[in-house]
Amino acid sequence: MKSTSCSSCLLKSKAVINLGDNELDILDKSCVQATFDRGETIFKQGALSSNIIYLQTGLIKLMIKGPNRVQILRLKKAPCYLGLPTTMGDKINNYSASALEKSTACFIDMNTFKELLRINPAFSYEIIIELCKNELEQFKRCVTLVQNQIFGRLASNLISFADDIYSSHEYELPLNRNELADLVCTSRETISRILSDLTKERIIEANGKHIKIINYNMLKEISRKG
């Protein structure tokens, strides 16, 4: 049940901002809103994909089950589109999404979305921009995962939590040790060892999920060198 119509929604995407009243009406008629608690699945790998999902509020993880393990592809913070590639580039979800905190998402019918792409070039243009930025981000992440050793990989992610997600050098991790290991592509034991070492070296303070970055420059250096 939608709390507000698309036209009076205060959390529109950059793409949707370009829509006229008529187009917002079209969107409103085939757009459903849902709230997810932490841990709930928004869409599942292997299932048919027929909606475009716009994450209005919250934080989610994209996960894929690979040959050897579950891997967290990336975390995504609202506002953003989820699963655009998997819905428009394929018919089956190539990966899953789950909420890491209470989140709200709008499910847009695929055909309506295509219609909006067709009738509003500015809408299309913003979708293209988002796809392009996502791919660049993904390339960067992949290079870090492949080239850096585990110290550098973990440091990069801790910094990303601080700079991109919480805008603070002190935060509560939204992941347990196993999930952090899935994000950084290592084992949970290795995560424990490194958080321990970083704490001993007074670069961070790690108390359970509570992280405080003490020596940001040193952490940055570690993330650069790998």
Partner DNA sequence: AACTGTTTGTGATATGTATCACAATTATAT
Partner DNA sequence: ATATAATTGTGATACATATCACAAACAGTT
Q: In 3-state terms, what secondary structure has residue 33? A: strand
Residues comprising the chain, all counted? 226
Interaction of residue 86 with a second copy, rule CB under 8 A:
yes
Residue 59 and residue 35: Cα distance in Å, rounded? 12
The residue among 134 and 190 lying less far from DNA, judged by its C-beta, is 190
Dihedral of alpha carbons 64, 67, 71, 74, sign? negative
Which of 17, 47, 48, 122 forms a contact with a second copy (CB under 8 A)? 122
Check binding of 217 to a second copy (CB under 8 A): no
Give the range of 23-31, 135-143, 161-169, 170-178 binding a second copy by CB under 8 A. Answer: 135-143
- 196 counts as binding DNA under rule CB under 7 A: yes
Sign of CA dihedral 113, 120, 133, 99: negative
Q: Verify binding: residue 193, DNA, rule CB under 7 A.
A: yes
The one-letter amino acid at 22: N
- Residue 209 interaction partner, one of a second copy, DNA, none, beta carbon < 5-8 Å per kind: DNA
The number of angstroms, rounded, from the C-alpha of 96 to the middle of its chain's C-alpha atoms is 11
Q: Which residues bind DNA (CB under 7 A)?
A: 149-151, 176-178, 185-193, 195-196, 206, 208-209
